[in-house]
Amino acid sequence: MKKLIVLIMLCLIGVNCFADDAHGVIEPYLGGFRIQDCDSIEMTDEVVEIWESKVKVTFHFKNCSSQKQTVTIGFPVKWYEEVGVRGDPDEPLKDDAATREQIEKYYNFKSTCNGKSLKRKLVSSANSDSGFDFWFTTELVFEPGQTLEVVDEYKSGYAYGSDSIGYSWKTWTYILTTGSSWANNIQKATIIFHSTYEYQWKNYTVEYSDKKAYIWNIDKMTYHYSSFSYKPTSIKYDKKAKETVITWVLKDIKPTKEWEAEELNSLIHSPSNWKQEFAYFLVKDDLYKIPGYEKKIKWWLDEGYSDESDVKKVYEDFSDKKEFYEWVKELYDTGFTEFQPKSKEASIFAQLLINSIYAMHGYEFKSEKWTKLFSNFSWYKPTTSTISEKDLTSEEKAMIKRLTQYR
């Protein structure tokens, strides 16, 4: 039933490098910046605010020692990987005036210390294995026990890509692990992400831990995943700004992984999942009655159940009524969300799910079409022509109430 599909990468572009300032040193002979652990200055807290094209970060650094300290800090730049201006990735990155000018123009990096402008110098990386090409560096001078507030603001974006069968994705990454170079743990890291994502990061997963967490666009037969590397503290939709504001509050951390947010979308008219594909198969005759629907979608979906043995196997897989109910529930949870408008397509799938619930309770359909459809399932035994509310669970009643609004 399932076909092997080879993904051909058509596009993979990044403009995406946000990061904690790291402690390090300028190599006296090589002249580049290298991360080095610091045991006298700690990053007590940080507030990271990420928009889709810019970043603002407020750090508080404290001198834990009883002596005056002068330290070098650096913000990392992955120029080839993130911006894609370098030619052959196997060739050394050019470290020349033109490249530096390009980097500085792109980031428009601005920094302050206690409200006063802080000049940053762009230097190359002393360690080719660090994963970074350049660093925006500066020096900070601390009196004993002093806390300094450093604010970084810069232009950035997201990595994005697509493939030959219509999937696309966007990824935002904030590098937290560079913050591990400071003394002690970070007492509190607050990350605020402003997003205009259409599906408002609903049904998200944490590192794709639950593959059922997605949104199904019934009209287009597409699906939409969203994932985070850390579990959010709160997700709020700002109607006035028309954006979703997601907040993370991480406490007492020595970061070992980066913060990441990713949205994945299917762009072609096809389901990502055999569950929607099978639902389509069951009601496709009704869907084809919608003007233009067959031409729009039939070419992809009909291949999924062109073999009778494939169809028979699915019916056998659903010989357990419990498994069938879970299929109904997943289609409901992913398809009939707040983002699904009333439409002819939604009406057809809503009727399928309503009738599926009734069939599991032994309802005897007046329509030969529905009787024939459910007779393919071994558990279907029509015993009653009436289903009352007392026959249904509270979950089933709630589903039917919402599904009825789409008919």
Confidence of residue 278 (pLDDT cuts 50, 70, 90): confident
pLDDT recorded at residue 187: 97
- The full set of domains in the chain, from first to last, is 11-266 (2.60.40.3680), 274-404 (no CATH)
pLDDT of residue 276: 83
Tens of pLDDT, residue by residue over 351-375, are 999 999 999 999 999 999 999 999 9
Which has more pLDDT, 5 or 184?
184
pLDDT in tens, 287-310: 989 988 866 655 566 666 666 777
Q: Is the pLDDT of residue 2 over 60?
A: no
pLDDT at residue 114, rounded to an integer = 98
pLDDT averaged over every residue in the chain: 87
Q: What is the pLDDT of residues 63-72, one digit of tens each?
A: 999 999 999 9
74-83, 121-130, 170-179: segment of lowest average pLDDT: 74-83
pLDDT at 214: 85
Categorize the per-residue pLDDT at 12 as very low, low, confident or very high, splitting at 50, 70 and 90.
very low
User: At residue 13, does pLDDT exceed 60?
Assistant: no
- Confidence bin at 209 (pLDDT 50/70/90): low
d(CA 178, CA 21): 7
pLDDT at 208 (0 to 100):
66
Confidence of residue 385 (pLDDT cuts 50, 70, 90): very high
pTM beyond cutoff 0.95:
no
The number of CA neighbours under 13 Å toward the Cβ of 187 is: 8
More confident residue, 267 or 157: 157
Mean pLDDT calculated for residue range 347-354: 98
Q: Which residues does residue 11 pair with via DSSP β-bridges, in sequence order?
A: 162
